[in-house]
Structure 1
Amino acid sequence: MSNLKDGATYRLYAFGWGVVKRLPERTAYRLFERVADRVWAKQGKGVTQLERNLARVLGPEATPEDIRRVSKQAMRNYLRYWCDTFRLETWSQERIDATFPLDGQDILDKEFAAGKGVVLALPHMGNWDHAGAWAANHFGGFTTVAERLKPERLFERFLAYRESIGMEVLPLTGGQNTFLGLVRRLKAGGVVCLVTERDLTARGVPVRFFGETTKLPAGSAALAVSTGAALMPVTLWYEAGYQQAKVHPKIEVPAEGTREQKIAAMCQALVDVFAQGIAEHPADWHMLQKLWLADLDPAKAPKPAAE
């Protein structure tokens, strides 16, 4: 059964790369929007979890109708991400650059020119592959880390796709010492990009995120502490005909404290910036998985207030 499921999953993605990128553009995006609306209307596990996540973002004043309205647009944006991704290989570099206005490029270029390396940390917002294609051209390449997917053929297809648009991809697990590989790139003055608000290792740093506890991967902060590279948060969101991005000022390494304390403080500062960007553009946050400890472990859910 597992092999059948893996084969079906691979064929679905292969269809995306092989067929969707050849469709007329308006047809492709309308198709994906209709699929998004159907998935949203069915209220499956992913959409239900998305709405639980968005309820934290929107706050206690949000009505169920508010949450449903935002989640519908969020699903459209998520499927737009996939349509973009399947078609990105057909875009010229001119189109990639023209549809990626970047607020804060001056501070990013200044840090890159310093030669100490740059760590760009992103949440799951907008289209990080589009951002990666822009960055690969702008910096002459960069390094990232990818979760090893199943089936293996799908992971290899994503690896080949991302390498084709200029990314160097290191596997999160099952390969070389990934952290040391990233350290070497940064010490050579390179750029590392990490999508980093979801802990996939169970070794994350506890942080407060929209008023509740979750864990943030320590990698981006640890790299900055270890190498002196600039840790710079990036947030992404969709506008009508393009993707907007913002590079935020670098997060400084605290002057005092142990290495672990410095990393923890930087992780909290990083997630605070993410929270600001997500709150401003909640429909552009593609988080359909459990994230907070209260969802991952119901025993850690807050106790009801005493009456």
Structure 2
Amino acid sequence: MSSFVARVLYVLAGLLGRLPWSWQRRLGDAIAALWLRRDARESRVVRVNLELAYPGLPPAERAQWQRAIMRTTARQAVETLRLWTRPHAENLRLLREQHGTDLFDAAVASGKGLIVAAPHYGNWELLNQWLASRTPLAILYRPPESAIGEAFLNLVRADTDAERVTQVRAEGAAVRQLWKRLNAGGVVGILPDQQPKAGDGEFAPFFGVPALTMTLLGRLAERTGATVLFAYCERIGTDADPLGFALRIEAAPDGIAAPDPQRACVALNAAVERIARRDPAQYQWTYKRYTLRPSGDGNDNPYRSR
């Protein structure tokens, strides 16, 4: 049953994904307007995150940022349907610019292993497709809570290069699989700004607020000697232009592979924050990044009752 429902959803996604981009953009803007008017969960989470990350921002300007973030978030949801349901080779033509690919090629050629840290900025699904077009890799992901969602993801991420991508569930055996691949000189992709489970991370500043941060990336880098690069596909152009992206690959900051997990987490968050500040509207502010607090009792969860 889950497979059947997933296929129905895939057909619907394909229909939406084949609309002209101008129509898709208007659809995204309509969804964003609805979220704002109804003060939906996404809108509330964005508001809380902006209050935490930009406390000095005047209320009127913060509201303006919130509207821009909601619009970009909704457009991204629609554009991702397009990326999921069209051939990957066609999608990659949306990359109008590519920067830092020499760093990527050199890291792969070194045979020391490569960790690609891909923050929730721009469109990470397009980044996954570019990575798969260049090299076999393993991608660590958090599986959806529903069987239908899992089946749908398996459908939309299938393509001619699907056999080059090993999707590793963020569960107990994940570390062993990633470790083995890196020690063999392979490539691993990790979304570094997801909140880990309590006890699986360290608190480090993120936009000046303590955020529970994964230690996995730093541990893998320190113990395998793998290179760490940050990568993202950033939207470029104006509303009058066709949909387009710039691929950017950058060296990780010093300290990302420090033996001290606290120092490694500080370096990790600093790198993600720097990328997010390039264009705050393109960062995933709808994610509850600060749910777990240093106190550990959950009473100061900023999203409670939001």
Q: 1:288 maps to what in 2?
A: 286
Counterpart of 2:137 (choices 135, 138, 142) is: 142
Structure 1 contact 159–169 (Cα < 8 Å) conserved: no
Structure 2: stretches of 5+ with no match in the other structure: 238-242
Cα distance in 2 for residues equivalent to 1:41 and 1:286: 20
Deviations 1:117-159 (A, max 9, x none): 11111221111000110111022x3211221213212112203
Query: How far 1:213 moved relative to its partner?
Result: 0.5
Q: 1:201 maps to what in 2?
A: 197
Letter in 2 for 1:234: A
**What pairs with 1:65-214 in structure 2 (closer than 5 Å)?**
65-88=60-83, 89-91=85-87, 93=89, 95-99=91-95, 101-139=97-135, 141-164=136-159, 166=162, 167-173=165-171, 177-202=173-198, 203-214=200-211
Q: TM-score scaled to structure 2, two decimals?
A: 0.83
Query: How far 1:224 moved relative to its partner?
Result: 0.8
Letter in 2 for 1:77: T
Letter in 1 for 2:286: L
Cα distance in 2 for residues equivalent to 1:12 and 1:48: 31
Deviations 1:178-225 (A, max 9, x none): 111111221222211111212242212211111110111122111111
Judging changes above 3 Å, is the alpha-carbon distance between structure 1 residues 284 and 227 closer, same or farther for their aligned structure 2 residues?
same
Instruction: Answer with 234-243 or 63-72: which moved more.
Output: 234-243
Structure 2 contact 126–233 (Cα < 8 Å) conserved: no
Q: TM-score scaled to structure 1, two decimals?
A: 0.82
Counterpart of 1:33 (choices 22, 25, 29) is: 29
Secondary structure in structure 1 of the residue aligned to 2:251: coil
Counterpart of 1:266 (choices 258, 264, 267) is: 264
Structure 1 contact 99–242 (Cα < 8 Å) conserved: yes
Letter in 2 for 1:145: L
Judging changes above 3 Å, is the alpha-carbon distance between structure 1 residues 160 and 14 closer, same or farther for their aligned structure 2 residues?
closer
Secondary structure in structure 2 of the residue aligned to 1:215: strand
Q: CA RMSD in A?
A: 2.9
Cα distance in 2 for residues equivalent to 1:170 and 1:285: 24
Over the matched positions of the two proteins, sequence identity in percent amounts to 21
How many residue pairs match? The answer is 288
Cα distance in 2 for residues equivalent to 1:134 and 1:250: 19
Cα distance in 2 for residues equivalent to 1:142 and 1:237: 21
Cα distance in 2 for residues equivalent to 1:56 and 1:36: 22
Letter in 1 for 2:46: L
Cα distance in 2 for residues equivalent to 1:151 and 1:94: 30
